[in-house]
Structure 1
Amino acid sequence: MYNNFSSEQISGKELSYLTDTFKNEELMAKLCVQAAVHCQSPSLKHTMTQLAQERLQHMSILTNALQQQSGLTH
């Protein structure tokens, strides 16, 4: 689903969008971790932890997509 890139290079506008998306995912992950640390409710703590993990996964997907696009190997 996320690996359907053509051989064309991404544009500057697309790179800017991906950079903004990455920063937003990073911020959301940090906020979810902070909320989980301070939560009193176990169910809310679990939900915040789960959301943080999802954000980190999205960051990983974005990183891998950019590496594939640029031809870098990890």
Structure 2
Amino acid sequence: MYSNQENQNISTKELLYLADTLKNEDLLAKLCVQGALNSQSQSLKQTLSHLSQERLQNISVLINTLQQQSGITH
């Protein structure tokens, strides 16, 4: 893992990977929500809703980690 050294930067390749990961997590969350809305099975609705929440949590963790690494706050 990364240390908290000020001189350690995230490479362009790593930033691109993280950007792709964020896009993928966002797409998966949207697909799960859409599937939950269209499903007639209550069990499937619950599973897809849970998966969408997990994806949103992953997005939050990725963004928070990026903010910590870059020193950005909002």
TM-score (norm 2): 0.91
Q: What 5-or-longer segments of structure 2 have no aligned partner?
A: none
Partner of 1:71: 71
Q: Which runs of 4+ in 1 moved over 6 A?
A: none
Q: CA RMSD in A?
A: 0.9
The total of aligned residue pairs comes to 71
Which amino acid in structure 1 is aligned with residue 36 of structure 2? A
**Does 1:17 find its partner at 2:14?**
no
Deviation at 1:65, TM superposition (A): 0.6
How many angstroms does 1:73 deviate by?
Answer: 1.9
State the structure with more CA Rg.
2
Question: What's the CA shift for 1:23?
Answer: 0.2
Which letter maps to 1:61? V
Percent of paired sites with the same residue: 62
Other-structure match for 1:45: 45
> Any stretches of 5+ residues in structure 1 without a counterpart?
none
Provide the TM-score with structure 1 as the length reference: 0.91
